[in-house]
Structure 1
């Protein structure tokens, strides 16, 4: 199936990955209905910053993913649903776990139920590498056991299984994409890379972080967006769960030091107790095997390996270093 000429619903279109994906789809000529979270300000999130001509081409639906009637209304007339709407902050999931079940699990149920009833041609549901927990073997394939080490990851395991169950039980054409740690312009400063960049850009001489020894597989946002497109167009991916990662492993500490070097700053890394996860909840190691994605779609990351990672970091630094962009972040405090 090709996305060209299709009407595509993107839930979570106002967010970090969702806004990049939405813009990409509009530029390639798709009719995009952007599902954004309703708010009294009428904000479309990051889509408010999109070029005016792109915004004119958007069909924006403001609602709540927890509302089955709103989800069904938004999906009516759409051929494809790319489901990204979710609560994703791990620290906040310790604070308010019920909201993660309601948004991530029930929200996903609403999406696949509407897709089933409306005969949607394809659903791509967003998972997360956090569902694997600390790696038992590396690189991590889709066969790795699932381990809910935080309320967030547990809610995503539940959401994934709801989505896949609709394929098994009803033949709903669902694919689960499992991105590893996506980074890039517009990301929340709750994530480690924007945390480091925004503190440095604001002039900090001490960078406050949680644990720096865990390793991650960081994937640039444009690569993640391309992975969504590739899986949405891949008929053989229906019913499958597919990793999308850069296949490059680096520690949080080495990531912070790379950013300090690229920004030409002199700064120390200090531990902020408030930013530490509970010991058994910390995911110690994530490193993707994206071989299944390659075999299905031919997708490979443009920002893979150490060189690609530094290129992605530089683009992210450049974006955050713009005073207009940096001004949107509260660099003087830790935000859950």
Structure 2
């Protein structure tokens, strides 16, 4: 039996969080899913899960910016998987203080509650954006951190807060650092869903930003498997562990691969609103997954070009379903 049975997930209503909820429920664990409080009573992607899964979830609303909210949600749990964050890079240019409030202070509240309640494990979720453009390829966990956006700066702050609680108080924290996760339920703010939805439309050309940056794309089920491996491993405590495939692909090459899969020639037009400020663009990200393999025995099951092709095919099939697209209020501007 896995060591942790009663698990709080913050940000459970989101893209990765909802897949993580499903995986933990499938393992027979008790999940308390904390979703951001809103006036509509919506639980995000958790509202779309099958009734058989939802009936096994303890759904709570709260806000990681509120310490009491976090503490009450965590009470009775023996582990917490912290995914709640503001993640949209463009909005971080407009509202940087909100990223500090949610990503840094919110993480502080999770850590302090875990310390006070004696929680057995905290899995804190980071991002490859903390590295900025790669100086050393592939990127290992020892790579220097360089914030090129307010979002990245807030995540570095959160990561350092997590590390400080491990060092100062012995809080059993492990930091997962996924590279670019993609798959069903991903936000249309992300580049791959944007390409896929436009490829499924009758639009004459894709409207995209820069095509030259490279990324290490990882299918969501691989990321979730990595998070679960970190949760259940004693060796992960006090460590930062990257989750990536080690395969680098440019945005332009991703467009060409999606064109191959769909059998549709895809022209591209640059949309200025999608371009980051020049010094803020992260040009290159590619993971060295050696530490995850050594400590956890984890590796991507959909690595390399063939793996990416499989993951994109599965994602395209999901986005092609009108019922799935109906959950996006802005999908219609892509599919015409």
Which TM-score applies when normalising by structure 2?
A: 0.97
The 5-angstrom pairing of residues 301-312 of structure 1 reads 301-312=300-311
**Could you tell me how far 1:332 is from its partner in structure 2?**
5.4
1:224 aligned residue:
223
In 1, the alpha carbon distance for the partners of 2:124 and 2:188 equals 24
In 2, the alpha carbon distance for the partners of 1:268 and 1:291 equals 37
In 2, the alpha carbon distance for the partners of 1:332 and 1:320 equals 12
1:207 aligned residue:
206
1:2 paired to 2:16: no
1:19 aligned residue:
18
Tell me if the contact between 1:97 and 1:151 (Cα under 8 Å) persists in the aligned partners.
yes
In 1, the alpha carbon distance for the partners of 2:290 and 2:296 equals 10
In 1, the alpha carbon distance for the partners of 2:3 and 2:198 equals 40
Deviations, residues 249-298 of structure 1 (Å, cap 9, x unaligned): 00000001111221122320111011000000000000000100111010
1:68 aligned residue:
67
In 2, the alpha carbon distance for the partners of 1:332 and 1:220 equals 25
The 5-angstrom pairing of residues 160-309 of structure 1 reads 160-309=159-308
**Could you tell me how far 1:163 is from its partner in structure 2?**
0.7
Tell me if the contact between 1:205 and 1:266 (Cα under 8 Å) persists in the aligned partners.
no
2:318 aligned residue:
319
Tell me if the contact between 1:72 and 1:114 (Cα under 8 Å) persists in the aligned partners.
yes
Tell me if the contact between 1:204 and 1:267 (Cα under 8 Å) persists in the aligned partners.
no
**Could you tell me how far 1:235 is from its partner in structure 2?**
0.4
The 5-angstrom pairing of residues 35-46 of structure 1 reads 35-46=34-45
Deviations, residues 104-139 of structure 1 (Å, cap 9, x unaligned): 000000000000000000000000000000000100
In 2, the alpha carbon distance for the partners of 1:326 and 1:161 equals 37
1:58 aligned residue:
57
**Could you tell me how far 1:331 is from its partner in structure 2?**
3.7
SS in 1 for 2:177: strand
2:80 aligned residue:
81
Tell me if the contact between 2:130 and 2:153 (Cα under 8 Å) persists in the aligned partners.
yes
Which TM-score applies when normalising by structure 1?
A: 0.97
1:138 paired to 2:153: no
**Could you tell me how far 1:64 is from its partner in structure 2?**
0.7
In 2, the alpha carbon distance for the partners of 1:285 and 1:228 equals 24
**Backbone CA RMSD of aligned residues:** 1.2
In 2, the alpha carbon distance for the partners of 1:303 and 1:270 equals 30
SS in 1 for 2:86: coil
**Could you tell me how far 1:195 is from its partner in structure 2?**
0.3
SS in 2 for 1:274: helix
Deviations, residues 31-78 of structure 1 (Å, cap 9, x unaligned): 000000111221110011101010000001101110000000000000
1:110 aligned residue:
109
Tell me if the contact between 2:243 and 2:287 (Cα under 8 Å) persists in the aligned partners.
yes
Tell me if the contact between 1:94 and 1:151 (Cα under 8 Å) persists in the aligned partners.
yes
Tell me if the contact between 1:125 and 1:163 (Cα under 8 Å) persists in the aligned partners.
yes
Tell me if the contact between 2:255 and 2:266 (Cα under 8 Å) persists in the aligned partners.
no
Tell me if the contact between 2:70 and 2:109 (Cα under 8 Å) persists in the aligned partners.
yes
Tell me if the contact between 1:3 and 1:30 (Cα under 8 Å) persists in the aligned partners.
no
**Could you tell me how far 1:333 is from its partner in structure 2?**
4.9
- Structure 1: give runs of 5+ residues left out of the alignment: none
User: How many residue pairs were aligned?
Assistant: 333
- Structure 2: give runs of 5+ residues left out of the alignment: none
In 2, the alpha carbon distance for the partners of 1:3 and 1:308 equals 31
**Could you tell me how far 1:328 is from its partner in structure 2?**
3.0
In 2, the alpha carbon distance for the partners of 1:9 and 1:331 equals 31
